[in-house]
Amino acid sequence: MKALIFDVDGVIAETEEGHRLAFNRAFAEAGLDIEWSPELYERLLWVTGGKERIAHYLYHCPECPKLLDADIARLHRRKTELYNQIVASDEVPFRPGVQRLWREAREQGVKLAIATTTSLPNVEVLLRQAGEAVLGWFETIVAGDMVPQKKPAPDVYIQALTNLGLAPEEAVAIEDSHNGLVAAQRAGSPTLVTYSHYTREQRFEGAMAVLEHLGEPELPARVLAGPRSCATVVTLDVLRSWHRLAALRA
Protein backbone atom coordinates (compact mmCIF):
# COMPACT_ATOMS: atom_id res chain seq x y z
CA MET A 1 0.00 0.00 0.00
CA LYS A 2 1.90 3.00 -1.30
CA ALA A 3 -0.86 5.59 -1.73
CA LEU A 4 -4.28 6.69 -0.51
CA ILE A 5 -6.56 8.17 -3.17
CA PHE A 6 -9.39 10.25 -1.72
CA ASP A 7 -12.69 11.24 -3.23
CA VAL A 8 -13.76 14.72 -2.07
CA ASP A 9 -17.49 15.34 -1.65
CA GLY A 10 -18.81 13.29 1.26
CA VAL A 11 -15.38 11.77 2.02
CA ILE A 12 -13.13 14.66 3.00
CA ALA A 13 -16.02 16.80 4.21
CA GLU A 14 -19.82 16.75 4.30
CA THR A 15 -19.90 19.03 1.27
CA GLU A 16 -23.04 17.85 -0.49
CA GLU A 17 -25.34 20.09 1.53
CA GLY A 18 -23.12 23.03 0.61
CA HIS A 19 -23.42 22.05 -3.04
CA ARG A 20 -27.21 21.80 -2.76
CA LEU A 21 -27.46 25.28 -1.24
CA ALA A 22 -25.16 26.68 -3.93
CA PHE A 23 -27.23 25.13 -6.72
CA ASN A 24 -30.41 26.64 -5.27
CA ARG A 25 -28.83 30.08 -4.86
CA ALA A 26 -27.57 29.96 -8.45
CA PHE A 27 -31.04 29.00 -9.69
CA ALA A 28 -32.61 31.89 -7.75
CA GLU A 29 -30.07 34.41 -9.07
CA ALA A 30 -30.79 33.25 -12.63
CA GLY A 31 -34.53 33.78 -12.11
CA LEU A 32 -35.29 30.05 -12.31
CA ASP A 33 -38.15 28.75 -10.20
CA ILE A 34 -36.18 25.67 -9.13
CA GLU A 35 -35.34 24.50 -5.63
CA TRP A 36 -33.78 21.13 -4.92
CA SER A 37 -34.92 19.66 -1.61
CA PRO A 38 -32.57 17.35 0.35
CA GLU A 39 -34.69 14.35 -0.73
CA LEU A 40 -34.56 15.33 -4.41
CA TYR A 41 -30.85 16.11 -4.24
CA GLU A 42 -30.14 12.68 -2.78
CA ARG A 43 -31.69 11.13 -5.90
CA LEU A 44 -29.91 13.56 -8.23
CA LEU A 45 -26.54 12.53 -6.82
CA TRP A 46 -26.77 9.40 -8.93
CA VAL A 47 -25.90 11.75 -11.80
CA THR A 48 -22.20 12.59 -11.44
CA GLY A 49 -20.97 16.09 -12.31
CA GLY A 50 -22.68 19.40 -11.60
CA LYS A 51 -23.34 20.42 -15.22
CA GLU A 52 -24.61 16.92 -15.97
CA ARG A 53 -26.89 17.06 -12.92
CA ILE A 54 -28.44 20.35 -14.04
CA ALA A 55 -28.94 19.08 -17.60
CA HIS A 56 -30.49 15.82 -16.35
CA TYR A 57 -32.94 17.67 -14.11
CA LEU A 58 -33.98 20.17 -16.78
CA TYR A 59 -34.49 17.40 -19.34
CA HIS A 60 -36.86 15.54 -17.01
CA CYS A 61 -38.69 18.66 -15.76
CA PRO A 62 -41.58 19.47 -18.17
CA GLU A 63 -42.16 22.98 -16.82
CA CYS A 64 -38.47 23.95 -16.74
CA PRO A 65 -36.76 25.96 -19.50
CA LYS A 66 -34.54 23.99 -21.87
CA LEU A 67 -31.18 25.73 -21.52
CA LEU A 68 -28.35 25.53 -24.02
CA ASP A 69 -25.11 23.84 -22.96
CA ALA A 70 -23.43 27.25 -22.75
CA ASP A 71 -26.16 28.51 -20.41
CA ILE A 72 -25.82 25.43 -18.21
CA ALA A 73 -22.04 25.91 -18.08
CA ARG A 74 -22.51 29.57 -17.10
CA LEU A 75 -25.02 28.61 -14.41
CA HIS A 76 -22.65 25.97 -13.08
CA ARG A 77 -19.74 28.44 -12.93
CA ARG A 78 -21.86 30.73 -10.77
CA LYS A 79 -22.86 27.78 -8.61
CA THR A 80 -19.15 27.00 -8.10
CA GLU A 81 -18.49 30.59 -7.02
CA LEU A 82 -21.34 30.41 -4.51
CA TYR A 83 -20.16 27.03 -3.22
CA ASN A 84 -16.65 28.37 -2.68
CA GLN A 85 -18.12 31.24 -0.66
CA ILE A 86 -19.96 28.72 1.52
CA VAL A 87 -16.78 26.68 2.09
CA ALA A 88 -14.70 29.79 2.81
CA SER A 89 -17.17 30.76 5.53
CA ASP A 90 -16.37 27.47 7.35
CA GLU A 91 -19.92 26.15 6.92
CA VAL A 92 -18.57 22.79 5.68
CA PRO A 93 -16.92 20.61 8.38
CA PHE A 94 -14.19 18.06 7.66
CA ARG A 95 -15.19 14.50 8.44
CA PRO A 96 -13.72 12.68 11.46
CA GLY A 97 -10.30 11.14 10.95
CA VAL A 98 -9.50 12.64 7.55
CA GLN A 99 -6.83 15.14 8.56
CA ARG A 100 -5.41 12.70 11.12
CA LEU A 101 -4.95 10.06 8.40
CA TRP A 102 -3.37 12.62 6.05
CA ARG A 103 -0.77 13.51 8.69
CA GLU A 104 -0.07 9.85 9.42
CA ALA A 105 0.42 9.13 5.70
CA ARG A 106 2.90 11.98 5.36
CA GLU A 107 4.85 10.81 8.40
CA GLN A 108 5.14 7.27 7.00
CA GLY A 109 5.83 8.14 3.36
CA VAL A 110 2.48 7.01 1.95
CA LYS A 111 1.47 9.18 -1.01
CA LEU A 112 -1.76 11.17 -1.03
CA ALA A 113 -3.90 11.82 -4.10
CA ILE A 114 -7.40 12.94 -5.04
CA ALA A 115 -9.73 11.52 -7.69
CA THR A 116 -13.04 13.36 -7.87
CA THR A 117 -15.84 14.39 -10.19
CA THR A 118 -16.05 17.85 -8.64
CA SER A 119 -14.21 20.80 -10.17
CA LEU A 120 -10.62 21.70 -9.31
CA PRO A 121 -11.52 25.10 -7.74
CA ASN A 122 -13.92 23.27 -5.37
CA VAL A 123 -11.10 20.94 -4.28
CA GLU A 124 -8.59 23.74 -3.79
CA VAL A 125 -10.85 25.97 -1.71
CA LEU A 126 -11.80 23.04 0.54
CA LEU A 127 -8.22 21.89 1.13
CA ARG A 128 -7.12 25.42 1.99
CA GLN A 129 -9.59 25.37 4.88
CA ALA A 130 -7.28 22.78 6.49
CA GLY A 131 -4.28 25.09 6.04
CA GLU A 132 -2.56 26.72 3.09
CA ALA A 133 0.19 24.06 3.04
CA VAL A 134 -2.25 21.13 2.86
CA LEU A 135 -2.81 21.56 -0.88
CA GLY A 136 0.85 20.65 -1.40
CA TRP A 137 0.50 17.39 0.50
CA PHE A 138 -1.18 15.75 -2.50
CA GLU A 139 1.00 14.24 -5.21
CA THR A 140 -1.77 14.62 -7.77
CA ILE A 141 -5.32 15.94 -7.96
CA VAL A 142 -7.50 14.66 -10.79
CA ALA A 143 -10.85 16.45 -11.11
CA GLY A 144 -13.84 15.55 -13.23
CA ASP A 145 -13.24 17.88 -16.17
CA MET A 146 -9.65 16.62 -16.57
CA VAL A 147 -10.74 13.25 -17.98
CA PRO A 148 -13.10 12.10 -20.76
CA GLN A 149 -15.68 10.42 -18.51
CA LYS A 150 -16.76 10.96 -14.91
CA LYS A 151 -17.51 8.32 -12.30
CA PRO A 152 -18.68 5.53 -12.41
CA ALA A 153 -16.18 5.41 -15.29
CA PRO A 154 -12.69 4.70 -13.90
CA ASP A 155 -10.99 7.59 -15.73
CA VAL A 156 -10.10 9.75 -12.71
CA TYR A 157 -8.58 6.78 -10.89
CA ILE A 158 -6.65 5.55 -13.91
CA GLN A 159 -5.23 9.05 -14.40
CA ALA A 160 -4.36 9.43 -10.71
CA LEU A 161 -2.58 6.06 -10.69
CA THR A 162 -0.71 7.01 -13.85
CA ASN A 163 0.38 10.30 -12.29
CA LEU A 164 1.51 8.46 -9.15
CA GLY A 165 3.37 5.83 -11.18
CA LEU A 166 1.65 3.03 -9.28
CA ALA A 167 -0.21 -0.16 -10.12
CA PRO A 168 -3.89 -0.18 -9.09
CA GLU A 169 -3.35 -2.68 -6.27
CA GLU A 170 -0.67 -0.45 -4.70
CA ALA A 171 -3.27 2.19 -3.77
CA VAL A 172 -6.37 2.25 -1.58
CA ALA A 173 -9.29 4.37 -2.73
CA ILE A 174 -11.51 6.05 -0.15
CA GLU A 175 -15.04 6.71 -1.38
CA ASP A 176 -18.52 7.46 -0.07
CA SER A 177 -20.81 6.55 -3.00
CA HIS A 178 -21.77 3.59 -5.14
CA ASN A 179 -20.62 5.41 -8.29
CA GLY A 180 -17.26 6.17 -6.69
CA LEU A 181 -16.82 2.60 -5.51
CA VAL A 182 -17.57 1.26 -8.99
CA ALA A 183 -15.09 3.72 -10.54
CA ALA A 184 -12.29 2.64 -8.20
CA GLN A 185 -13.12 -1.05 -8.65
CA ARG A 186 -13.05 -0.70 -12.44
CA ALA A 187 -9.62 0.88 -12.10
CA GLY A 188 -8.53 -2.13 -10.02
CA SER A 189 -7.94 -0.50 -6.62
CA PRO A 190 -9.29 -1.90 -3.34
CA THR A 191 -11.74 0.58 -1.87
CA LEU A 192 -12.74 1.70 1.60
CA VAL A 193 -16.19 3.30 1.87
CA THR A 194 -17.04 5.94 4.47
CA TYR A 195 -20.64 6.64 3.57
CA SER A 196 -22.04 10.16 3.94
CA HIS A 197 -25.46 11.53 4.84
CA TYR A 198 -26.52 11.54 1.21
CA THR A 199 -25.15 8.07 0.38
CA ARG A 200 -26.04 6.17 3.52
CA GLU A 201 -28.75 4.10 1.75
CA GLN A 202 -26.60 3.08 -1.22
CA ARG A 203 -25.15 -0.38 -1.76
CA PHE A 204 -21.42 -1.07 -1.55
CA GLU A 205 -20.81 -4.62 -2.72
CA GLY A 206 -17.16 -5.56 -2.93
CA ALA A 207 -15.83 -2.74 -0.76
CA MET A 208 -12.84 -3.56 1.42
CA ALA A 209 -14.89 -2.23 4.36
CA VAL A 210 -17.84 0.11 4.93
CA LEU A 211 -17.73 2.56 7.85
CA GLU A 212 -19.60 5.64 9.02
CA HIS A 213 -16.31 7.64 8.96
CA LEU A 214 -12.57 7.16 9.52
CA GLY A 215 -12.81 7.65 13.28
CA GLU A 216 -10.92 9.55 15.95
CA PRO A 217 -9.60 8.15 19.26
CA GLU A 218 -12.45 9.88 21.09
CA LEU A 219 -14.95 9.03 18.32
CA PRO A 220 -14.41 5.49 16.95
CA ALA A 221 -16.30 4.59 13.79
CA ARG A 222 -18.87 1.84 13.44
CA VAL A 223 -17.91 -0.77 10.85
CA LEU A 224 -20.98 -1.84 8.89
CA ALA A 225 -19.15 -4.33 6.69
CA GLY A 226 -15.59 -5.55 6.63
CA PRO A 227 -12.94 -7.42 8.60
CA ARG A 228 -13.78 -5.71 11.90
CA SER A 229 -17.31 -5.63 13.27
CA CYS A 230 -16.53 -3.42 16.26
CA ALA A 231 -15.96 0.34 16.44
CA THR A 232 -12.52 1.32 15.23
CA VAL A 233 -10.18 4.15 14.30
CA VAL A 234 -8.82 3.74 10.76
CA THR A 235 -5.03 4.07 10.93
CA LEU A 236 -2.45 3.14 8.30
CA ASP A 237 -1.82 -0.12 10.16
CA VAL A 238 -5.55 -0.95 10.00
CA LEU A 239 -5.63 -0.08 6.30
CA ARG A 240 -2.56 -2.21 5.61
CA SER A 241 -4.16 -5.23 7.27
CA TRP A 242 -7.40 -4.76 5.33
CA HIS A 243 -5.40 -4.19 2.15
CA ARG A 244 -3.59 -7.51 2.64
CA LEU A 245 -6.88 -9.31 3.20
CA ALA A 246 -8.31 -7.73 0.04
CA ALA A 247 -5.27 -8.93 -1.91
CA LEU A 248 -5.74 -12.48 -0.61
CA ARG A 249 -9.44 -12.45 -1.61
CA ALA A 250 -8.49 -11.20 -5.09
Question: According to the model, what pLDDT value does residue 22 have?
Answer: 95
Confidence band for 16, pLDDT divided at 50, 70 and 90: confident
Question: According to the model, what pLDDT value does residue 141 have?
Answer: 98
> Domains in the chain, ordered, with CATH?
3-14+93-249 (3.40.50.1000), 16-88 (1.10.150.240)
Question: According to the model, what pLDDT value does residue 215 have?
Answer: 96
- Please check the confidence at residue 136 and state whether its pLDDT lies above 80: yes
Q: What's CA 185's distance to the chain center, in Å?
A: 15
Q: What's CA 4's distance to the chain center, in Å?
A: 13
Catalytic residue from among 9, 33, 145, 176: 9
Helix (H) and strand (E) counts in the chain: 9, 7
What is the bridge-based pairing of β-strands 209-211 and 3-6?
Answer: unpaired
- HSE, CB side, 13 Å, CA atoms: give it for residue 225: 14
Per DSSP (E only), the strands in the chain are 3-6, 111-115, 140-142, 171-175, 191-194, 209-211, 223-225
Query: Average per-residue pLDDT in the chain?
Result: 94
Confidence band for 244, pLDDT divided at 50, 70 and 90: very high
Q: What's CA 202's distance to the chain center, in Å?
A: 14
Confidence band for 229, pLDDT divided at 50, 70 and 90: low
9 is annotated as an active-site residue: yes
| Whole-prediction pTM | 0.87
Catalytic residue from among 7, 69, 155, 176: 7
Q: What is the pLDDT of residues 54-84, one digit of tens each?
A: 999 999 999 999 899 999 999 999 999 999 8
d(CA 200, CA 108): 31
d(CA 213, CA 208): 14
SS3 label, residue 224: strand
- CA distances, 49 to each of 3, 46, 148, 163 (Å): 25, 9, 12, 22
Confidence band for 226, pLDDT divided at 50, 70 and 90: confident
Q: What is the pLDDT of residues 82-91, one digit of tens each?
A: 998 988 887 6
Confidence band for 92, pLDDT divided at 50, 70 and 90: confident
